A = this chain, B = another copy of it.
Amino acid sequence: MGRSADHRSSKKTVQLDVRLREFVGYTLRRTSSIIQADLAQTLKPFDLRMLTFSALSLIINNPGLRQSQLADAMDVEHPNMVSLIDDLEARNLITRERSTSDRRAYAVCGTEAGKRLYEAAHKAVADHENRLLAGLNDDQRQQILGAMEMIQTAYKI
């Protein structure tokens, strides 16, 4: 499941080493891990993990994608995509159909049930974000997203 969900627990936290906190890489990792744990709790009622939610979102919003395209978009190795898709298909949230033009490939689409679950989960995640970022205005949120985008593209060059 990953990290413990209860980050609000009032354990007597040790506040020490300042040097590590200067690193954006370190701070980003810790923050991301905290958010991830909370997000997992948010998605639990829908029986979705972050990976299955991401896959569902991509499939619903881009119907007909191949698994390899999904894997690329999610930055997941192809073999690891299989069980994700298997899970969603077994629950009748998506369909896997052989492509007519290339019989090696599958075209993946969301079902009506998948779309309903996705919309509900999406709303829960959006609410979660708003709670989480209540202290930041739209401008600040955009700055964060912009900075992350900049770092990501810096890596792709």
A residues sitting closer than 8 Å to B (CB atoms) are 3-4, 7-8, 10-36, 38-39, 50, 54, 57-58, 61-62, 65, 69-70, 72-73, 75, 77, 122, 125-126, 128-129, 132-136, 140-141, 143-145, 147-152, 154-157
Identical chains in the assembly: 2
| Residue in B15, B50, B145 whose beta carbon sits within 8 Å of that of A24 in the complex | B145
Most B CB contacts (10 A, CB to CB) among A16, A65, A72, A152 go to: A16
16 A-B pairs (CB sep. < 8 Å): A8-B157, A14-B65, A15-B73, A17-B62, A20-B58, A23-B129, A25-B35, A26-B54, A29-B36, A31-B32, A31-B151, A34-B151, A34-B152, A35-B151, A135-B150, A135-B151
- Contact between chains at A20 and B72 (CB < 8 Å): no
- Contact between chains at B16 and A73 (CB < 8 Å): yes
Contacts of A58 in B (CB 8 A): 16-17, 20
- Contact between chains at B57 and A17 (CB < 8 Å): yes
CB distance from A139 to the nearest CB of B (A): 11
Contacts of A14 in B (CB 8 A): 65, 69-70, 72-73
- Contact between chains at B23 and A28 (CB < 8 Å): no
CB distance from A107 to the nearest CB of B (A): 14
